[in-house]
Amino acid sequence: MTNLQPQALVDAAVAAMARAYAPYSHFRVGAALLAADGRIFCGCNIENASYPVTICAERAALSAAVSAGVREFAALAVVGGHEGVLGEICTPCGICRQAIAEFCAPDMPVYLGHAEGFKTLTLGELLPYSFSLMEDKKI
């Protein structure tokens, strides 16, 4: 069951953003990964007093899914904003793009929520020429 409306996935990311732990940057991020079987795995950013220990929302969602045995995905939604207020789109950082590319196809849609709705990009648009050691994913 993957015929979920994109806005529903964005809404799940917004709900996840409310659980962000961001006392240092005050920038809250939420991510929702739609698995091929229809389940949704969410993540939020979890900051740390030792700043580099911080985990981004996208990798938190990916960790939740993979830890549950899920490795096939249909879509991703990401939202973020200062104190959780949506303004412009919040694009995944480079590390998260590479992490997502390990499991997701270049044509997978990524919905980036903003104050007025959401923008749709593909993972391949966000990270062209991603690094891979998998022969079948080589460009």
Q: What distance in Å separates the CA atoms of residue 40 and residue 61, rounded to the nearest whole number?
A: 9
User: Of 38, 124, 109, 47, nearest to 78 (Cα)?
Assistant: 109
Angle at 86 between CA 39 and CA 67, to 5 degrees: 30
- Only segment of 11-19, 20-28, 66-74, 110-118 that touches ligand THU (CB under 6 A): 20-28
Catalytic residue among 47, 58, 72, 116: 58
Instruction: Please identify which residue in 12, 14, 29, 33 interacts with ligand THU, judged by CB under 6 A.
Output: 29
* Structure-block tokens of residue 58: 């996208």
- Only segment of 23-31, 32-40, 100-108, 122-130 that touches ligand THU (CB under 6 A): 23-31
- Contact yes or no for 27/54 (Cβ under 8 A): no
Q: Is there binding between residue 123 and ligand THU (CB under 6 A)?
A: no
Residues acting as catalytic residues: 58
Residues at the site binding ligand THU, with contacts judged by CB under 6 A: 22, 25, 27, 29, 45, 47, 54, 56-58, 92-93, 96
